[in-house]
């Protein structure tokens, strides 16, 4: 197995094809072990992960904590670091990071400010894993997203992927866009309300790597041609204007009628949580992959913890 060359995981751009292949090979190993004879159940025995979440989380936080424990490690955590840590007393992120360096072997951090994980990584002597930084990035989500897509389309070529919903504030869609530039003959279709279209920095990055993209307003116009629909929640908490939120809310709903227009081999993904953009009636459709996608998060995060800590 190749050497993992990253000390921290703070953004999707850190991963080239070789690193992605290493992560996915390790993810396959973790999945097989977890479903098999559990030879890796003690591989991180004695290691401690600090779960430092300044924003709410269900899947990311619990999958990371489960991943660490399933590899034999321990977890120290707080329910809401913004409210129940010294951050409530005014402690800076840099001071909190330095303190946690003495208590743990790896820090998994979710913060409300874009760029926060990168700032923490600059001063940290132990690995920092970005679990979401405001409207910035969510690289581990992007890794499990790509892993899920590759499970359905192993060649990862000649794919059309529609990113739908809140693309301006949706860090998962941003991070996934970065990783999709690593594959050949991928086309991205951005389907979003005017108030939350994909930002220009992502479009410039796609242009730089010659990845074709286009914007559409009508989901029904593209649903029959795409291989993957990546739905996102319109994030009310990130909107500064109630009027803008109302313009975007509930604009795109993946109804059974729309799903009937999809190709049979196409897939539906969602980083979750969902609100009303995917009705529960879709859950039983063969294209639905979002719960499998969430489960893959456990295996991918087990792989990352193992790769970051195996030689430390």
In this predicted model, what pLDDT tens digit does every residue of 127-171 receive, in sequence order? 999 999 987 899 999 999 999 999 999 999 999 999 999 898 888
Say whether pLDDT at 261 is over 80: yes
The reply to whether 89 belongs to the active site is yes
What residues are paired with 160 via a beta bridge?
Answer: 187
Give the single-character DSSP code of 15.
-
Is residue 140 flagged as an active site residue?
Answer: no
Contact 50, 124 (CB under 8 A): no
88 pLDDT band, cuts 50/70/90, is very low
Would you state the pLDDT for residue 238? Answer: 55
Q: State the pLDDT at residue 90.
A: 55
Residues 50-74 have a mean pLDDT of 93
Kindly state the percentage of the chain with pLDDT values over 70: 90
Contact yes or no for 76/52 (Cβ under 8 A): no
Q: Which CATH class is domain 12-138+295-309?
A: alpha beta
Quick one: pLDDT band at residue 112, thresholds 50, 70, 90? confident
Report helix angle 17-34 to 290-309, nearest 10: 100
Catalytic residue among 47, 110, 174, 182: 110
Q: What local confidence, expressed as pLDDT, does residue 239 receive?
A: 54
| Annotated active-site residue in 31, 47, 119, 138 | 138
Mean pLDDT of the 234-262 span = 75
Among candidates 152, 154, 156, which has minimal Cα distance to 179?
156
Read off the pLDDT of each residue in 40-45 and give the average, rounded to a whole number.
95
* Contact of 34 with 299, CB cutoff 8 Å: yes
Question: Residues 281, 259: contact at Cβ < 8 Å?
Answer: no
Q: How far does Cα 240 stand from its chain's mean position?
A: 24
Instruction: Report the range of poorest mean pLDDT among 46-50, 166-170, 206-210.
Output: 166-170
| Whether residue 59 lies in the annotated active site | yes
| pLDDT, position 84 | 47
CA distances from 308 to 47, 106, 128, 300 (A): 11, 8, 10, 12
d(CA 40, CA 69): 11
| 213 SS3 class | strand
- Backbone φ, ψ for residue 89 (5° rounding): -95, 0
Active site residue 111: no
Q: Which long-range contacts (C-beta less than 8 Å, at least 24 apart) are formed by 261-264?
A: 261/220, 261/223, 261/224, 262/223, 262/224, 262/226, 262/229, 262/287, 263/224, 263/227
Measured in whole angstroms, the distance separating CA 83 from the mean position of its chain's CA atoms is 24
Angle at 295 between CA 260 and CA 147, to 5 degrees: 75
- Could you give the residue range(s) of every CATH 3.40.50.1370 domain in the chain? 12-138+295-309, 139-292
Q: Which residue reads 């703070």 in tokens?
A: 10
Interval 299-311 mean pLDDT: 95
User: Considering the chain, what is the average pLDDT of its residues?
Assistant: 91
Q: Model-level pTM?
A: 0.91
Token pair for residue 147?
């892993």
- Say what the pLDDT of residue 78 is: 77
Element (H, E) at 204: helix 200-208
Q: Which residues pair with 229 in a beta bridge?
A: 162, 268
The span from the CA of 144 to the CA of 122, in Å, is 25
Q: What is the pLDDT of residue 248?
A: 61
CATH class, domain 139-292, is alpha beta
**Mean per-residue pLDDT for 219-236?**
91
Q: How far apart are CA 111 and CA 148, in angstroms?
A: 25
CA distance 41 to 70: 6
Q: Which of 27, 60, 97, 232 is catalytic?
A: 60
């Amino acid at each position: 197995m190749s050497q993992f060359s990253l000390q921290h995981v703070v953004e999707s751009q850190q991963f080239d094809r070789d690193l992605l292949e290493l992560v996915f090979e390790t993810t396959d190993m973790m999945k097989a072990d977890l479903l098999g004879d559990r030879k890796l159940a003690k591989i991180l025995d004695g290691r401690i992960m600090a779960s430092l979440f300044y924003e709410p989380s269900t899947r990311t936080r619990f999958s990371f904590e489960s991943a660490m424990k399933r590899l034999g490690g321990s977890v120290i955590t707080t329910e809401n670091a913004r409210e129940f840590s010294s951050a409530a007393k005014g402690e800076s992120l840099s001071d909190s990071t330095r303190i946690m360096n003495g208590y743990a072997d790896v820090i998994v951090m979710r913060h409300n400010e874009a760029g926060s994980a990168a700032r923490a990584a600059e001063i940290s002597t132990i690995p920092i894993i970005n679990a979401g930084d405001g409207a910035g990035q969510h690289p581990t989500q992007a890794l499990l997203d790509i892993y899920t897509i590759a499970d359905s389309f192993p060649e990862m070529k000649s794919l059309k992927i529609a990113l739908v919903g809140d693309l301006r504030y949706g860090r998962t869609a941003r991070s996934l866009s970065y990783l999709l530039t690593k594959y050949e003959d991928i086309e991205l279709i951005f389907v979003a309300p005017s108030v939350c279209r994909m930002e220009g920095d992502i479009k410039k990055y796609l242009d730089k790597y010659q990845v074709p993209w286009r914007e559409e307003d009508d989901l029904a116009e593209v649903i029959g041609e795409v291989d993957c629909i990546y739905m996102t929640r319109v994030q009310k908490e990130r909107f500064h204007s109630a009027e803008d939120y109302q313009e975007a809310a509930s604009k795109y709903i993946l109804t059974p009628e729309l799903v009937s227009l999809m190709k049979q081999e196409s897939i539906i993904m969602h980083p979750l949580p969902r609100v009303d953009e995917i009705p529960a009636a879709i859950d039983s459709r063969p294209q639905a992959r979002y719960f499998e996608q969430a489960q893959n998060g456990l295996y991918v995060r087990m792989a990352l913890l193992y790769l970051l800590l195996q030689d430390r």
